[in-house]
Amino acid sequence: MKVLLINGSPHREGNTHVALREVAGQLAKNGVESEEVWLGLKPVRSCIACNRCKENQDGRCVFDDDICNSVSAKMQTADALIVGSPVYYGQPNGGVLSLVQRMFYSAGDLFRNKPAAAVAVCRRGGATAAFQTLNIAFQMMNMPVVTSQYWNIVYGRTPGEAQLDVEGMQTMRTLADNMAFLLKKLHADGRPEYPEREPWEPMHFIR
């Protein structure tokens, strides 16, 4: 079993990394592998609703000049997803939102039904709003949202300061324990048997 961790901070080893590193360490203690992918410093395109990805049999986004398609491909071998982001103006990093939206739209089958969790890292405020924003996307993909003992929030400003948030670090470890528990239950008999879904019936309110 493997969990993909997305580090949505422009600082590769900043406080978002500190939070995800705590998760990774606890996952390892539970016998669950993880891989951290850094968002990086290059721009991430936003979805332009061109629907070209629906024409591609492999579900690749038509924009192939950023990390979107390469990160989506990693979900072929990952069983769960955790997205960590710093908080900017009460919201997740814009690059993270662009990445998540394009991955889910173009390669949704690779994410659907797999457990997911969000982690928000902030200096002072806005973490709950950022946390909720990320969780909304998971719910639209039928991804079971993994909880912890508190909202998955860690506080810290300067690099490494998050390590001093004792409760935040404990929350990360509890998140990892809960993720490992759920994955082991889902995979106890081999490949999980997900519920059979009804065909989607989209409805517009403007006639």
Greater confidence (204 vs 154) lies with 154
The SS3 assignment for 43 reads coil
- Which pair of tokens denotes residue 158? 């300067």
Six token digits for residue 145: 């949202």
pTM greater than 0.85 (yes/no) = yes
Domains of the chain from N-terminus onward: 2-186 (3.40.50.360)
Per-residue pLDDT at 118:
98
pLDDT tens for residues 105-116?
999 999 999 999
Sequence-ordered strand ranges (E) for 8-134: 33-38, 80-88, 91-92, 116-122
pLDDT tens digits along 51-64? 999 987 788 999 99
User: In this predicted model, what pLDDT tens digit does every residue of 144-165 receive, in sequence order?
Assistant: 999 999 999 999 999 999 999 9
Quick one: pLDDT at residue 206?
84
Residue 88 region by backbone torsions, left for phi larger than 0, else alpha for psi between -120 and 50, else beta: beta
119 and 16 Cβ atoms separated by less than 8 Å: yes
Torsion of CA 122, 10, 50, 100, to 10 degrees: -50
Do 97 and 88 form a contact (C-beta atoms < 8 A)? no
pLDDT at residue 13, rounded to an integer? 96
- Predicted local confidence at residue 105, as pLDDT: 96
Q: 163-193 pLDDT, tens per residue?
A: 999 999 999 999 999 999 999 999 998 888 8
| 158, burial (CB in 10 Å: exposed 0-12, middle 13-18, buried 19+) | exposed
Residue 98's pLDDT band (boundaries 50, 70, 90)?
A: very high
> Using 50, 70 and 90 to split pLDDT, how confident is the model at 140?
very high
Asked if residues 103 and 63 have their Cβ atoms less than 8 Å apart, the reply is no
> Which alpha helices (DSSP H) does 107-165 contain, by range?
127-140
Per-residue pLDDT averaged across 108-136, rounded? Answer: 97
pLDDT above 70 (res 207) = no
